[in-house]
Structure 1
Amino acid sequence: MRKVIYEFGQCDPKRCSGHRMVKYNKIQSLNLKSRFNGIVLAPNATQSISPADRELMERRGIGLIDCSWNQIDSFDFRKVNISSKNGRLLPFLVAANTINYGKPYKLNCVEALSAALYIVGEKEEAVGVFEGFSYGDEFLKLNKDLLEMYSQCANSLEVVKQQNEYLEKNRRK
């Protein structure tokens, strides 16, 4: 499956998982002006990734936007040449990376890529992208039940419904 990333250079390259994936040849860095018509994980998307995205991902690939969580509110997503209808959010998951460990939604690039692959049914590839990253097993362990639950949904609406039910149930504890 084709995997691409738009890098904005906002992170420390020594700690940036997106930069490391490019270095390890796990993902291709795209020029910001390059058009990409696959599924793109983007915080400004309007629907969640789901197993229904698998066919498009197999045909056109998956893309990431590598920008800093600290600068997300000021980020101009129009700089990236992607189809707005193919933007996807990730549902509730918990980070295992060393910078945002235990924080909900604060996944880094390799965690986001792995989660998306897992949710659409590419579980072996989801595990494989963590090669060279020490926290991969921890991420998959922390989120195993959620990833399994999301991967059983038919579409984005079901993923969001399952996420909301999970959050409501765990809010009461």
Structure 2
Amino acid sequence: MENVSEKLENLKVNTSESEKNSSSSSSDSSSEEEDVAPSFPVAMWDFNQCDPKKCSGRKLARLKLIKTLKIKQKFPGIVLTPTGEKCVSPADRHIVSSKGIGVVDCSWARIDETPIAALKPAHGRLLPFLVAANPINYGKPLQLSCVEAIAATMYITGFKKEARFYLDKFSWGHSFIDLNKDILEIYSNCTDSQSVVTEQTKYIENEQRLQKDRQASRDFPSSSDSEEDSDEENSIVSRT
């Protein structure tokens, strides 16, 4: 992760280079960085368990960015479902590009009563460890909204501009990549499902270790705190 000085230096370099470019070349550069709509299909099975006003899948449907499937309707692409046996990985890119992404839209609170097993997808996939940024489950691991799940799959399989295109439709959307930037990049550089699981395990173990270190630092006073405590005790003694 870049530190502040590195980010400032990069910003300085980028600004200097942009000033040297002509207006036409700057326009070309910015167009290359624009988010783009996917050329592959995106679909969902809607089990009507979510609040329509808060459901990201419903909003995508209103924007005509996702196709709503009937419960027994088959989908040939990657399907994000708890019944999947493998994690999404960059190895799935060819399936995504040719057949698309499907997602199950249901309430996490009612997951056990949802007949997800009836879908029987050809390419069922699980998502690796990621943290939700949606307003309902913000900060909770794995409890992603439809658009977060879709965007994560796009990002991991190499369709990063398409992922941002979908997230940009939500005021909080950019926070998803901000929260998960490091681990998304790690996943997107893996080779297959097994390597994604390996990197997931390493990431979680490291985060747990950092959490323990932070907890330990709060439990033990710093040297400056000890000095302050010592001075306070001396002052009390001197007054008695």
> Scaled by the length of structure 1, what TM-score is found?
0.96
Is 2:89–2:157's contact at 8 Å kept on the other side of the alignment?
yes
1:2 equivalent in alignment to 2:41: yes
Cross-structure match for 1:102:
139
- 127-136 or 106-115, which deviates more: 127-136
- 1:7–1:29 Cα contact (<8 Å) kept: yes
Match of 2:100 among 52, 58, 61: 61
What is the CA-CA distance between 1:130 and the residue it aligns to?
1.5
CA contact (8 A) 1:41 1:64 kept: yes
Distance 1:41 1:78, change over 3 A: same
Provide the C-alpha distance between the structure 1 equivalents of 2:137 and 2:80, rounded to a whole number of angstroms.
Answer: 18
SS of 1:137's equivalent in the other structure is: helix
The aligned runs of 1:24-173 (5 Å cut-off) are 24-80=63-119, 82-83=121-122, 86-173=123-210
Aligned letter for 2:59?
R
The letter of the residue matching 2:132 is A
* Structure exhibiting the larger radius of gyration computed from Cα positions: 2
Contact 2:93–2:158 under 8 Å retained in 1: yes
CA-atom RMSD in angstroms: 1.0
**3-state DSSP of counterpart to 1:91:** coil
Higher helix residue share: 2
Greater length-normalized contact order (CA 8 Å, ≥ 6 residues apart): 1
Q: Which runs of 5+ in 1 are unaligned?
A: none
Structure 1 stretches of 4+ moved >3 Å = none
Note the C-alpha offset of 1:81.
5.1
Query: How far off its partner does 1:5 sit?
Result: 0.5
| Contact 2:168–2:174 (CA under 8 A) maintained in structure 1 | no
Q: Distance in 2 between matches of 1:124 and 1:101?
A: 23
User: How many residues end up aligned between the 2 structures?
Assistant: 171
Structure 1 CA distance for aligned equivalents of residues 186 and 172 of structure 2: 21
Structure 2, unpaired ranges of 5+:
1-39, 211-240
Q: Equivalent pairs: percent with the same residue?
A: 47
Task: Tell me the amino acid that sits aligned with residue 68 of structure 2.
Answer: S
Residue 83 of structure 2 contacts residue 117 of structure 2 at CA under 8 Å; is this kept in 1? Answer: no
Alpha-carbon distance in structure 2 between the residues aligned to 1:4 and 1:25: 10
Alpha carbons 2:131, 2:144 under 8 Å: kept: yes
Q: Secondary structure at the match of 1:172?
A: helix
Deviation at 1:46, TM superposition (A): 1.1
- Offset, 1:82: 2.4
Alpha-carbon offset, residue 76 of structure 1: 1.9
